[in-house]
Structure 1
């Protein structure tokens, strides 16, 4: 079973996903950023191009011909085979409202949750699904209020 980390209280879910992706990319970890929502993937794509003045994170769609040479993928379906070529095993960042299917190939799943009531409610539902499936769950307060 995968370890699933919930980061609760993110002020900006997509910006936090970029920060996390940058940190793990720099450390040598492959990542898949998953959402079935095309608008969410388009927004994260734009943010990854320059979410900070000096930050560019090389990334492609999981279906792109350059995907085998890139370790950060944006995906609307969870790839059965994660990106290769990184020093550390792949993680999956879930930006979808539901649990991603087929996470067995991933060492960890990261759920980033904002303070939005709908987002929190969807995260609680995902927590219960992961829990029922026997995944190792961890919660982290990233709001900075504690």
Structure 2
């Protein structure tokens, strides 16, 4: 069964959420995992793609958008059912992707923005109602 982790940040802005997604992607990639980051739309995907290129000056995080011809260990997408199987999904979207259970782990990043809080509360309830084990990682301080 898919393991679900909620990372609760003290920040209120989307940039902090995207930066933390970069951090989680880098960690998972470093541990040998393939990562799919699911966002709302093409604009968010491009913003995250740009951020991953400049995330750390001293390192490189191999990534691409799912519609690009080359496949990288970290992929960013917004459409249904990514073509390749990945073992970790970072979900930055609402509604809940229907294909989440294809992944061994789903990571949800919570910021202190009312819209995101409501969205992730709904995701939490969705997972719990279906019997998934949910872990909270409170990073607020």
- Shorter-chain TM range is 0.7 to 0.9
Q: Which of the two has greater strand per residue?
A: 1
Question: 2:6 corresponds to which residue?
Answer: 6
CA contact (8 A) 1:10 1:16 kept: no
Instruction: Give how far 1:56 is off.
Output: 2.2
CA contact (8 A) 1:31 1:71 kept: yes
Question: Tell me, what secondary structure is at the counterpart of 1:41?
Answer: helix
Instruction: Give how far 1:9 is off.
Output: 1.8
Q: What is the root-mean-square deviation in Å for CA atoms of aligned residues?
A: 1.5
Question: 1:74 corresponds to which residue?
Answer: 76
CA contact (8 A) 1:10 1:112 kept: no
Question: Tell me, what secondary structure is at the counterpart of 1:93?
Answer: strand
Query: Using the alignment, how far apart are the partners of 1:3 and 1:28 within structure 2?
Result: 17
Residue segments in structure 2 that go unaligned for 5+ positions in a row: none
CA deviation map 1:70-105 (0-9, x unaligned): 21111112426414xxxxxx1000010221111222
Question: 1:15 corresponds to which residue?
Answer: 19
Question: 1:94 corresponds to which residue?
Answer: 91
TM-score by length of 1: 0.85
Question: Tell me, what secondary structure is at the counterpart of 2:8?
Answer: strand
CA deviation map 1:89-125 (0-9, x unaligned): x100001022111122210000001111221111101
Instruction: Give how far 1:10 is off.
Output: 4.9
TM-score by length of 2: 0.88
Query: Using the alignment, how far apart are the partners of 1:6 and 1:55 within structure 2?
Result: 26
Question: 2:136 corresponds to which residue?
Answer: 139
Residue segments in structure 1 that go unaligned for 5+ positions in a row: 84-89
